[in-house]
Amino acid sequence: MKTWTAVQRLIASLALSSFVSVGLFLVRDLHYGTSRYIFLNWNLFLAWLPLLFAWWLMKWVAKNPWISWQGMGLTLLWLGFLPNSFYLVSDLIHLQTTLASNVFYDVVLLVSFAWNGLVLGFFSLYLVHRLLIKRIEWRYAHLLIAGVLLLCSFAIYLGRYLRWSTWDVLVNPAGILFDVSDRIINPEAHGQTFTTTLTFFLLLGSMYLVLWQFVGVIREQKHS
* Mean pLDDT (whole number) for 180-191: 84
Regarding predicted confidence, which is higher, 179 or 45?
A: 45
Q: For residue 111, is pLDDT > 90?
A: yes
For residue 4, pLDDT over 80 is answered with no
Q: Is the pLDDT of residue 3 over 70?
A: no
The answer to which of 62-66, 78-82, 173-177 has the lowest mean pLDDT is: 173-177
Residue 85 — very low, low, confident or very high, per pLDDT cuts 50/70/90? very high
Residues 6+ apart with CB under 8 A from 28: 34, 37, 102, 105, 106, 109
Cα dist. 2→5, 7, 10, 52, 150 in Å? 9, 14, 16, 22, 40
CB 88 within 8 A of CB 15: no
pLDDT value of residue 61: 94
What pLDDT, in 10s, does the model give residues 45-66?
A: 999 999 999 999 999 999 999 9
Check pLDDT > 50 for residue 215: yes
pLDDT at 33: 80
pLDDT recorded at residue 1: 43
| pLDDT for res 65 | 92
Contacts of 7-12 spanning 24+ positions with Cβ under 8 A: 10/123, 11/51, 11/55
